[in-house]
Amino acid sequence: MDTEHEEYRRSFPGLQEAMDHTWAQVSKANDIISTGLEENDNNATKRLAKHLDTTTLSLDEGWHDSGTISSRAATWGTCRRRLEPGSTNTTIEKWYRMWRLMFPTALADEFNLLKIADPPFYDFRDSSRSIFDEAEAIKSGGSSQVFRVRIHPSHIPDNGGQLKGDLAFAVKKINGTSKDYARERDAYQRLSLDQNPHPHIIPLLATYKKEGKYHFVFPSADGDLAMFWRNQPRPSNDKRSLEWFGGQMRGLADALSTVHGQNSHDGYLHGVHGDLKPENILYFGSNDSDRWSTFALADFGSSYFCTPEERDIPKGLKHTPAYRAPEIDTTTVGITQAYDIWSLGCVFAEAISWFYDGKAGIAKLIEARLDDENNSPNRDAFFYVKFNFDMRGGLSAKLKPDIRRLLISLRGKSRSSPFMDDMLYIVLEGMLKVNMSERMSAREILTALTQMCMNLESDPAYSEPRTSDVEMVGQPFFLT
């Protein structure tokens, strides 16, 4: 078996060299943060929630008359119109800067803005006046609602006809308590995106409280990845498409590495996202035109951030069953950074399936994920759990065989290439591993994908597809 495994690994020489270098550091880099708190909030989030409950923020009536969000939107809209169609990789960073032009720091005293809040926080109290001209509900869940809101150009003073269309933003309304708001707010403060914007993490532009409910304001995306899989045809199978695809997968790995604190040299930030899934990854632009789509990590409502002095991660954080890691069912460790890697591996598996077969590929993967004979929570998951009679009643998990077979079969398709083979290798050998300690860290995935993207540029053969469908020779290691 070991010989067969080594032969399989040697079929990926370029990637294996990069992975061998990083695997030597796997135990240190993975650094699974232990869990132990019975409460759901860390000290920083508790302090922020307590502050929000005991502090009243007010805005002068002039805010409603001439200083509303719409009255300051002209600068944002003008700058947005100047964005070049091909600059989607830096669009999110520019959007954040443009929003801050709408709310310059010098206006803090005028609007009685909470000075310690960054991004800015505004309290509209119980005012019934609408902040935006239009609001369309686009997503609703138990803990929040998301609206696409618009500001009409005619309602922007001194517009001068420069804006031809509405300004659109996304507003997330929190249905829960101030602690729920504080958790997500704390995540953005820890990430410091205002100082270090990340092109693959959605920026928080502002927050406000109105009629007792907290709201987050974000740039308006074109949709989430679940919508993207359904609506976008599979891309053409050429080098340019592979460069875009690899760039987005690398970007998401970079975003998660940032969340995990593995891109930080001072080691101050340690965090988990906690709910990675297609619905929590947004896209901007469309790949059926000259403007290629950019993917961005979103929704930090289940996240947790701590300093080296605050190393405990709470239990009981909400998660999505289909994308949960198997240790949730088989252990008591809770949601860790390794948990995020499994969830991102599920997303990558969907992305690869879409690249090969479009929405039909997604449908096949979902079918492989479902277990019609099982009514337990494992019915819709990437793994199954079994009872071990020889392990004193313990539970163990395995990646569902149908999922493994489906992903491995993609290597035999004519659209496959050495690059896509390596993508499958990372997902199956480094991410969808039941044993937490065998999963790569986000930083290791980023390193491998960076090398792969460099190979796309330097080696024409790396992106060359097969000329026809072929059958797999032998049995890959992960089918055993």
pLDDT digits (tens, 9 = 90+) for 446-474: 999 999 999 999 999 999 987 655 544 33
Least confident of 175-179, 231-235, 240-244, 432-436: 175-179
pLDDT at 312: 66
Delimit the CATH 3.30.200.20 region(s) of the chain. 45-219
Element (H, E) at 322: none
Q: How many CB atoms lie within 10 A of CB 450?
A: 15
Q: What is the pLDDT of residues 55-85, one digit of tens each?
A: 433 333 323 332 334 333 333 333 333 333 3
Pairing verdict, β 281-284 and 213-219: unpaired
Coil/strand/helix, residue 208: strand
pLDDT at 140: 85
Which string of DSSP letters, residue by residue, matches 161-193?
T---S-EEEEEEEE-S-HHHHHHHHHHHHHHTT
The architecture of the domain spanning 45-219 is 2-Layer Sandwich (3.30)
Delimit the CATH 1.10.510.10 region(s) of the chain. 2-30+223-479
Give yes or no for residue 252 having a pLDDT over 70: yes
The CB-side HSE value for 208 (13 A sphere, CA atoms) comes to 22
Give yes or no for residue 297 having a pLDDT over 80: yes
pLDDT at 396: 87
Average pLDDT over residues 295-301: 95
Least confident of 189-198, 258-267, 385-394: 385-394
Strand partners of residue 305: 271
Q: Higher pLDDT residue, 378 or 26? A: 378
Q: What phi and psi values does residue 297 have, to the nearest 5 degrees?
A: -70, 135
Average pLDDT over residues 241-263: 94
Percent of the chain with pLDDT strictly greater than 90? 41
pLDDT at 467: 65
pLDDT at 329: 87
pLDDT at 387: 77
CATH number belonging to domain 2-30+223-479:
1.10.510.10
- Cα distances from 237 to residues 7, 241, 242, 407, in angstroms, run 28, 6, 7, 18
Maximum mean pLDDT: which of 32-41, 102-111, 263-272: 263-272
pLDDT at 349: 98
Give yes or no for residue 366 having a pLDDT over 90: yes
**Residue 280 to residue 225: CA distance in whole angstroms:** 8
Element (H, E) at 206: strand 206-210
Cβ contact 225:218 at 8 Å: no
**Residue 225 to residue 228: CA distance in whole angstroms:** 5
Give yes or no for residue 100 having a pLDDT over 90: no
pLDDT at 92: 46
pLDDT at 67: 36
Q: How confident is the model at residue 88 (pLDDT cuts 50, 70, 90)?
A: very low
Cα end-to-end distance, the chain, whole Å = 9
Give yes or no for residue 333 having a pLDDT over 90: no
pLDDT at 269: 76
